[in-house]
Amino acid sequence: MSIRVNPRFINDLVLFGAEDVQLCYHCGDCSTVCPHADEVYKFPRKSMRQLQMGLERKIETTLEPWLCYYCGQCSEQCPREAAPGETMMSLRRWLISRYDFTGIAKQFFKSGMTEIITIIGFALLTAVFLFYYGYSMGNIHIYDGKGAFLSSPFIHKFDLTLGSLLLIFLAINAFRMWYFTMIKGTKVPVPWWLYVKELYLLPWHFFTQKRYSECESKRNPKIFMPWIIHLGLMLGYVIMLILVMVFIERLQSGPAIQWQVHIFGYLATIGLVTGTIYIIRNRLNKTYEQYKKSHSTDWVFIVLLFFIVLTGIAQHIFHRTGLYELANITYIVHLMCVVPWLLRMPFSKWAHLVYRPLAMYFAAIRRDAITRREISLKSNSVSIK
Amino acid sequence: MRTGVFFCQVENGKNLNIDAIAKYTANLPGVEFVQILGTAPRIEVNVLTDLIKMKSLERVVIAGDMPGYFKPVFTKAMALAGGNTDEIQLASFKERGASGEYAQDRAKAVIACASMAVPFSLVAVPAGNPVNHSTLIIGAGIAGIQAALEIANAGKQVYLVEQTGTIGGHMAMFDKTFPTLDCAACILTPKMVSVGQHEMIHLLTNSNVTEVTGKPGSYRAKIHQRARRIDVKSCVSCALCVDVCPVKVESEFDAKISLRKAVYIPFPQAVPNAFLVDEKNCTYVLSGGKKCGVCVNKCPKECINLDETDKIIDIEVGNIVLATGYELLDVGKIEQYGYGVYPDVLTSLEFERLTNASGFTGGKIVTKTKRFNKRTQQEEWFFSPDGVPPRNVAIIHCVGSRNKKYNAYCSRVCCMYSLKFAHLIKEKIPNVNCYEFYIDMRAFGKGYEEFAERIKQGGTFVIRGHSAFVTMNNGQMVVRGEDIINDKMVEFKVDMVILAVGLIPASGNEELSRMLGITRDSDGWFSELDYNGSPTDTEKGCIYVAGMCQGPKDIPDTVAQAAAVAAGVLRTITSGKGVGHLSSVTLNEIEARAKNIHTISGGHYVNQS
């Protein structure tokens, strides 16, 4: 079977962050230290090789980039300083842009300026709309009816519309991912029941990120902080997302907020605040391998999230203490961050929230299919005379 | 003749001030036009043609680090302008050695010669100093020995300085040589004996060069000879003193895997064949003569004098040969291989001593045995001749070599000696599994590729893929790697791991380079004058480099280079012309000579031959 080679692929990938792939001389140290590399999924060296050969069509069908959590041990070991860890990260960025059928993700990854300008544009649009519609007419402490700043049923509807729009985008992208990896990429027949058998992996990996903790299985001393922080950030984010998307009316139901909402909200906030601060600090300090190189999208992601959390907290405090005027303004700033954030979700780093568990799921199915195939080949061996 | 000078640099010449050179050039006779085209210029032929026409240039000088690169463009422009294309002169800074201290003047001189169309080599002839007929060789490994023998056999005096107690260097430690599997000692020891007995070789062991003054052809060297405390002439190596000596230290000659006494002989075939006292560990010396001293009474020949003092020897020599060799990289800092943590992880040199037939295990390859040390109250691992031979051995190539964190360069000999190890292990232990982890197999020499093929056919598992680390699992060492050719992850349980450790320059090189005024490259090896043209000469006249101290190389190359050095030394001694170095010629002299030749030949130098 032939495969098309893109000799400029390695140059294209520079914009996604992989700069030193060409240095690799294939000693295999990275694959050896990687706690996740095994018989079926051998990486990062193999991905480096595919990159050097320009096998763009092959890489889009691989799941290996998603199996890497970037613990950085390969980059620490690399004798050529070819940064295999960063290359896997860049491949993830490239894959996000490849799964995205609109091409917006590609533009965002290639040019940080485009992304920032787009975000500022949408933030300003939101601001104009909110000033015109909300601030000039009402106040934040009035929740419904006349004089309400933005009524909760309105926001709820708005949320759901936006959410379903995003879900459509994400679903299409996830479908493309499935098509690339499982139809084009898996050369062995995959029976349908394997999809059912491994289905438990989706919630398992989504909520525990167990694989991330396994990154440390070979390191001494073990550094579990990135995993815990990442898990806290992700869980906090998901809880907050559910609260905002589904329970926004309870969040805004007047001065007496339900205790359940309160508790979940505060828990989520702890996760979000520690997570964003930890990551921003590490990206500035550059002590750990995985935080040494930061792509523009990494910065946009974490800084925007940090602003959202900060303004959210400020708004909450002002609101509770009765500084309604200030609360109004912070609320507007908060929404100025939230709206672009939500809009760019399927086209950004955020999408790995969906792709990574999916990749684990697909990887397990592919592994099962390959083992099944090998067993059947062994039992029905063809003898050649 | 109307001359135009163009400066075209390929690289950014940091050591040269091009503006100053251009100013100097403008005042040269016949130079009408000077232009600096900068670094890596894109030259348009028609622009250049117009320029040559406008200034009516008859001769063009291209000056730069690699002017030949731009010659085609200038030839075309000259032809289009209707000029004589033979009048394009190249003034090459790099080729003429415009670097270092005299770079600026040398570059000026090169341009001056080119602008007058006089060959640089014709005028830049250094004046000759008379050459002292004796030679100083620093380092008595195989390179130093070979050079010493070649020079001494030609009837010239040699001072051979060695910092340890015996000559022979690293080669004396080896068991076999690749690819012929000859016994290293069989080649080396006859040479060592010849050195010891040669009337023209003055052997100075236990000595260091501390000061060198003078100029090419007549150097004065101060040599600090540490007291041996045993009279070389009367010692008969009966080893009675060893029996009574109470001090035990790690043997340097056995790569620190065995113990020796404070009075010792490095190995039985040592030259000079006499014992010596380790002043750093001898109780008598350390206590200032108050304790111990039992060996003195034991000696039947009464040759031990523990109160002997160091000597300073002043010598005058004409030539100096550097043959200081190499050391192994400190592999303890590459933590993932567990050297120093797991007992059976060895460096290449340690294994070489272990497998050596004259080594302390008698050539038996064994794993370490545990014993209880009563003095330190701790358990320790050591090699015992009755140890258990390993069943599985992993050899890991490129440890610290070709690695940007340690040595960026290839140590050149590791692939071959690792293959040799595999062969020795297979030969000595029946049913052993041997795994070689390599990145690229560099079998570059005569018969090397065939040797590598032979080892692969011989049942050694040669795995293309570097193992990144060694782990211990319930007392069993495990080596993991990626078998790239077979597309597999592999994991082997092994009893012994041999690390093919990268080579680094000997630690005294820095001091020597400062003392002698010669340069070292970024990795610390001594720089030769020209890698291709004169690989044995250094920037300074009458100082030569031989063997590993110039860069990693195998034994045949080392011997060849040492012999070449001897030829160079003898050339200076026997030519009768004396020697000088280009740095002894000033810019004005070169300029004056060039002008002289220029006028004699009527404006253009014609090669007389």
Write out chain B residues lying below 8 Å of A77, CB-based. Answer: 336, 468
Answer whether A28's CB lies under 8 Å from A45's CB. yes
- B607 in a domain, yes or no? no
- A170 in a domain, yes or no? yes
Q: Which of B398, B404, B467 sits opposite A81 (nearest CB)?
A: B404
- Asked if B336 and A80 come within 8 Å (Cβ–Cβ), the reply is no
Are B350 and B496 contained in the same domain? Answer: yes
Answer whether B438's CB lies under 8 Å from B398's CB. yes
* Beta-carbon pairs below 8 A across chains A and B: 59
- Asked if A32 and B467 come within 8 Å (Cβ–Cβ), the reply is yes
Average pLDDT (A78-103) is 93
Are A168 and A72 contained in the same domain? Answer: no
Say how far apart CA B410 and CA B401 lie, in whole Å.
5
B interface test, pick of A32, A39, A52 with most B CB neighbours within 10 Å? A32
Average pLDDT (B269-279) is 92
* Residues of chain A contacting B, Cβ within 8 Å: 25-33, 37-39, 42, 45, 77, 79-81, 218
Average pLDDT (B240-269) is 91
- How much is the pLDDT for A148? 66
- Asked if A27 and B481 come within 8 Å (Cβ–Cβ), the reply is no
Are A117 and A260 contained in the same domain? Answer: yes
- B337 in a domain, yes or no? yes
From A43's Cα to the closest Cα of chain B, the distance in A is 10
- A166 in a domain, yes or no? yes
Say how far apart CA A23 and CA A6 lie, in whole Å.
19
Q: Is residue B182 classed as helix, strand or coil in its secondary structure?
A: strand
Write out chain B residues lying below 8 Å of A36, CB-based. Answer: none
Average pLDDT of the residues of chain A: 88
- Asked if A29 and B468 come within 8 Å (Cβ–Cβ), the reply is yes
- Asked if B465 and A42 come within 8 Å (Cβ–Cβ), the reply is no
Token pair recorded at residue A375: 């067993």
- Greatest extent of chain A over all pairs of C-alpha atoms, in Å: 90
- Provide the number of structural domains found in chain B: 4
- With bands split at pLDDT 50, 70 and 90, how would you rate the model's confidence at B574? confident
- B608 in a domain, yes or no? no
Are A72 and A133 contained in the same domain? Answer: no
- How much is the pLDDT for B217? 86
From B482's Cα to the closest Cα of chain A, the distance in A is 6
Write out chain B residues lying below 8 Å of A289, CB-based. Answer: none
* The domain boundary residue, chosen from A99, A131, A159: A99
- B157 in a domain, yes or no? yes
Q: Which residue of A has its CA nearest to B481?
A: A32
- How much is the pLDDT for B126? 73
Are B353 and B468 contained in the same domain? Answer: yes
- Asked if B404 and A80 come within 8 Å (Cβ–Cβ), the reply is yes
pLDDT digits (tens, 9 = 90+) for A28-45: 999 999 999 988 999 999
- A2 in a domain, yes or no? no
Are A167 and A45 contained in the same domain? Answer: no
Are A193 and A253 contained in the same domain? Answer: yes
With residues binned 3-state (H G I as helix, E B as strand, rest as coil), the percentages for chain B, rounded to 5, are: 30, 25, 45
From A50's Cα to the closest Cα of chain B, the distance in A is 13
pLDDT digits (tens, 9 = 90+) for A229-287: 999 999 999 999 888 888 877 766 555 667 778 888 899 999 999 999 999 999 999 98
- A375 in a domain, yes or no? no
The ipTM (two decimal places) reads: 0.86
Ramachandran assignment for A190, one of left (phi > 0), alpha (psi -120 to 50 degrees), beta (any other): beta
pLDDT digits (tens, 9 = 90+) for B425-483: 999 999 999 999 999 999 989 999 999 999 999 889 999 999 888 999 888 999 999 99
The HSE-up count of residue A37 (CA atoms within 13 Å, CB side) is 29
Nearest to B16, CA basis, from B120, B101, B81:
B101
Say how far apart CA B392 and CA A75 lie, in whole Å.
30
- A384 in a domain, yes or no? no
Write out chain A residues lying below 8 Å of B400, CB-based. Answer: none
Are A29 and A156 contained in the same domain? Answer: no
- With bands split at pLDDT 50, 70 and 90, how would you rate the model's confidence at B224? very high
B interface test, pick of A29, A40, A42, A73 with most B CB neighbours within 10 Å? A29
Q: Is residue B84 classed as helix, strand or coil in its secondary structure?
A: coil
Are B99 and B21 contained in the same domain? Answer: yes
* The domain boundary residue, chosen from B469, B487, B504: B504
B397 pLDDT above the threshold of 70 = yes
pLDDT digits (tens, 9 = 90+) for A323-360: 877 888 888 899 899 889 988 888 999 999 999 999 99
- Asked if A25 and B403 come within 8 Å (Cβ–Cβ), the reply is no
- Asked if A25 and B440 come within 8 Å (Cβ–Cβ), the reply is yes
Say how far apart CA B123 and CA A192 lie, in whole Å.
87
Nearest to B312, CA basis, from B233, B212, B208:
B208
- How much is the pLDDT for B452? 94
Average pLDDT (A304-322) is 89
Are B441 and B485 contained in the same domain? Answer: yes
Average pLDDT (A193-201) is 93
- Please give the residue range of the domain that contains residue B498: 328-504
Write out chain A residues lying below 8 Å of B439, CB-based. Answer: 25-28
pLDDT digits (tens, 9 = 90+) for B410-424: 999 999 999 999 999
- Asked if A32 and B398 come within 8 Å (Cβ–Cβ), the reply is no
Residue that the structure tokens 């309870």 belong to: A250
Nearest to B407, CA basis, from B558, B530, B522:
B522
Write out chain B residues lying below 8 Å of A218, CB-based. Answer: 471
- How much is the pLDDT for A194? 93
- A378 in a domain, yes or no? no
Are B420 and B350 contained in the same domain? Answer: yes
Q: Which residue of B has its CA nearest to A33?
A: B468
- Asked if B482 and A45 come within 8 Å (Cβ–Cβ), the reply is yes
Are B350 and B479 contained in the same domain? Answer: yes
Say how far apart CA B223 and CA B216 lie, in whole Å.
18
Are B142 and B231 contained in the same domain? Answer: no
Average pLDDT (A24-29) is 93
- How much is the pLDDT for A66? 95
Average pLDDT (B540-564) is 94
- Asked if A25 and B439 come within 8 Å (Cβ–Cβ), the reply is yes
Domain CATH code at residue B62: 3.40.50
B127 pLDDT above the threshold of 80 = no
- How much is the pLDDT for B446? 93
From B464's Cα to the closest Cα of chain A, the distance in A is 8
Are A199 and A75 contained in the same domain? Answer: no
Write out chain A residues lying below 8 Å of B487, CB-based. Answer: 42
Say how far apart CA B159 and CA B162 lie, in whole Å.
10
Write out chain B residues lying below 8 Å of A30, CB-based. Answer: 468
Are A35 and A130 contained in the same domain? Answer: no
From B148's Cα to the closest Cα of chain A, the distance in A is 40
- How much is the pLDDT for A67? 94
Are A43 and A142 contained in the same domain? Answer: no
pLDDT digits (tens, 9 = 90+) for B47-102: 889 989 988 888 999 998 888 888 888 998 999 988 888 888 888 887 777 777 77
Q: How much of chain A, in percent, has pLDDT values that exceed 90?
A: 55
Are B222 and B232 contained in the same domain? Answer: no
Nearest to B481, CA basis, from A61, A92, A47, A77:
A77
B211 pLDDT above the threshold of 80 = yes
- Please give the residue range of the domain that contains residue A123: 104-368
- How much is the pLDDT for A254? 56
Average pLDDT of the residues of chain B: 89
Are B10 and B76 contained in the same domain? Answer: yes
Write out chain B residues lying below 8 Å of A32, CB-based. Answer: 465-469, 480-482, 489
- A1 in a domain, yes or no? no
- Provide the number of structural domains found in chain A: 2
- How much is the pLDDT for A156? 82
- With bands split at pLDDT 50, 70 and 90, how would you rate the model's confidence at B608? very low
A384 pLDDT above the threshold of 60 = no
Write out chain A residues lying below 8 Å of B404, CB-based. Answer: 79-81
Write out chain A residues lying below 8 Å of B488, CB-based. Answer: 39
Are A193 and A67 contained in the same domain? Answer: no
- How much is the pLDDT for B609? 39
- How much is the pLDDT for A219? 82
Domain CATH code at residue B466: 3.50.50.60
Are B133 and B177 contained in the same domain? Answer: yes
- Asked if B481 and A28 come within 8 Å (Cβ–Cβ), the reply is yes
Are B338 and B235 contained in the same domain? Answer: no
Average pLDDT (B387-399) is 94
- The H-assigned helical ranges of chain A are 9-12, 29-33, 45-53, 56-59, 64-67, 73-77, 84-99, 104-110, 112-130, 152-178, 192-197, 201-208, 210-214, 225-246, 248-251, 259-285, 296-321, 324-343, 352-379
* Residues of chain B contacting A, Cβ within 8 Å: 336, 398, 402-405, 439-440, 465-469, 471, 480-482, 484, 487-489
Q: Which residue of B has its CA nearest to A82?
A: B404
- With bands split at pLDDT 50, 70 and 90, how would you rate the model's confidence at B230? very high
From B479's Cα to the closest Cα of chain A, the distance in A is 9
- Asked if A27 and B489 come within 8 Å (Cβ–Cβ), the reply is no
- How much is the pLDDT for A142? 62
- A385 in a domain, yes or no? no
Are B337 and B462 contained in the same domain? Answer: yes
Are A68 and A129 contained in the same domain? Answer: no
Neighbours of A270 (CB within 10 A): 12
- With bands split at pLDDT 50, 70 and 90, how would you rate the model's confidence at B578? low
- How much is the pLDDT for A181? 94
Are A23 and A159 contained in the same domain? Answer: no
A interface test, pick of B415, B467, B482, B487 with most A CB neighbours within 10 Å? B482
Average pLDDT (A114-122) is 93
